[in-house]
Structure 1
Amino acid sequence: MDTEEQQRLFKRTIQEMRRGNLVLAVLALLHERKYGYELLKEMNTLGFGLTQDTLYPMLRRLDEQKLIDSEWVVETTRPRKYYCINRNGEVLLENLKSEWKNQMERLERVIK
């Protein structure tokens, strides 16, 4: 396998790992009501490197799955859609956090 092929494989693997962590991160950050762009900026400040094309479909899906609540609020000149985790999302978040910790412990034992 040449270096270029290794790089492509590495990037794909990182994307898969990242995708699994994004739901956990989004739910955790929505403990306070935030509008989409505000959440996007916060996640990117934390190093997630997200785009609108990734975040907004995820927010719609989480809303459809009844894990977050959303509402349109008209502020100043344009409406903003605000999101906040609900009880269903909190239950899932706690389960995901627990599973994430378990997986990290198992990985630590393997990769030492």
Structure 2
Amino acid sequence: MPTDDDLFEKMRVELRRGSLVLAVLGALREERYGYTLRQSLEEAGLPIDEGALYPLLRRLEAQGLLTSEWREDAKRTKRFYQLSTQGVETLAQLLGEWNAISESILRLTEKDK
């Protein structure tokens, strides 16, 4: 039988997974390459492993939400990512949904005042 810590950890990972998609889309309103994206997510309190970030970026690009371009920067070739037009629209819709869910959860979990 799983411990309370095991159960919490599984639920935490599940909650973070969906949140990271929104965070990555939000961070890519401005063009970034993978390393600087990871840094900005970590600075915001949402660290992500490379092994999770790059598959996520490829999936979001395949879904039409991101565009990418290989360019040389500081004598190294790097892949830069940015929201596509569809990505901008989807981010706006997801943020609206996120805010509605957040408000509902707050209403459901607030104690009587």
> TM-score scaled to structure 1, two decimals?
0.93
Give a deviation string over 1:49-97, Cα, whole Å, max 9, x none: 2110111100000111110100000123320000000110011101100
Query: How many angstroms apart in 2 are the aligned matches of 1:43 and 1:108?
Result: 24
Q: Residue 22 of structure 2 corresponds to which residue in structure 1?
A: 24
Distance in 1 separating the partners of 2:47 and 2:81: 20
Q: Does 1:78 align with 2:71?
A: no
**Corresponding pairs, count:** 110
Structure 1: runs of 5+ lacking an equivalent? none
Q: State, as a whole percentage, how many aligned pairs show the same letter.
A: 37
Q: Deviations over 1:25-61 (max 9, x none)?
A: 1111111110001100110111112110111100000
Q: CA RMSD in A?
A: 1.2
Aligned mates of 1:92, 1:42 — CA distance in 2: 21
Distance in 2 separating the partners of 1:5 and 1:29: 35
Paired letter, 1:97? L
Supply the distance in 1 between the matched residues of 2:68 and 2:102 (Cα, whole angstroms): 32
**4+ runs deviating over 2 angstroms:** none
